[in-house]
Amino acid sequence: MKWIESGILVLLTLASWWAPYLMRRDLLFGGTVPPEFRDTAEARRIIRLYQRRVLLVGIALINLQIFLWSMNVNMGLLWPIALLLFCLGSAVAYAKAHNSIRAHAIPASGIREAELLPRAQKGAESPPMLLTGPVILAAGVALAFLIPDSTGQVPLLAGWGAIMARWNTIDALVAKPFGFAVGACAGTLAGLVVFRFGTRRNPAGITNYRRVMLRNMVFFNVAFAAFGAWVVNMGAFGRVVDKIELRVAMAVILAGLAAHVAYILMLRRKENMSLVSVVGHSLGDRTPDESWRWGMLYYNPDDPALLVEKRTGPGYTVNFGNVLAWLMVAGFLILMVLPFVLR
């Protein structure tokens, strides 16, 4: 466990160090700059200074953690505090780099498109695709109650008593993995719905990250639904899901997540290469620089968008000027804290 905690800190440090190379060429540390500015000595100086600060924070916290281990100190709450300190230190380093970039920033070209994007009728952007995962999970659960029992009865057709008997059997054998699958399916579906309808006001750039991320989010929702359908039917057949089977299933899902991240990074690299040679393309993301607090947090009450593309790397962030964004963040925090309160 100790090495896992240190490994997470090392990965966070390396990811933060690499962050400038994940930003669009015309959006450096939250400021709109000419694409060619990235290749100047001043830009390289700002990037190196940011990287040194992040490395110092990461190395200091890792060394502090090792020192506490040597003193046999129980980490307990100290581990989350270390993560919080790293996030705070890297945020300060980013904010300082943002302040340096502001001297070289230019007004974003193009007009912010606040109108809704046209409704897509096919592919991952079509509303019916949101129901794919729940339909698969519901079909799997229904199938589990259509499997005949030892007397040849079909529980779904034999009455409430037979249905409860089948459910008790399933609950006794696969309660934990099935609960995890249902929770993961519901969580990814909630994120999918918010992302699907919260990003319809975003402007389209060179790369349509929205379509890519929607497609991959649908894939993960379907994967968790299929996993839940498989688990509940294992219980219906009277089988316990082995740890090895669970690990294989989770390894497949994690491999898919790694492939998703790698694909997004490849798209960003391709986009940055295009920005070097593209002529006449609107610079920036058509959101005003002054609406980005410290280059990281977007606050614009005049923008009706709930989610906008991040300036710290590929992905999306909330518009804190939208009341719905605060409700969404509050709901997420409640879901994070609730398990610890009810435990």
pLDDT, one tens digit per residue, over 70-112 is: 777 666 667 778 888 898 999 999 999 999 998 888 876 655 5
Cβ-proximal residues to 329 (8 Å cutoff; 6+ apart), any chain: 318
CA distances, 273 to each of 36, 37, 213, 266 (Å):
11, 14, 21, 11
* Burial of 5: CB neighbours in 10 Å, binned 0-12, 13-18, 19+: middle
Top pLDDT among 281 and 128 is at 128
What does the alpha-carbon distance between residue 296 and residue 50 come to, in Å, rounded to a whole number? 14
pLDDT score of 176 = 86
Q: Read off the pTM.
A: 0.76
Confidence of residue 283 (pLDDT cuts 50, 70, 90): low
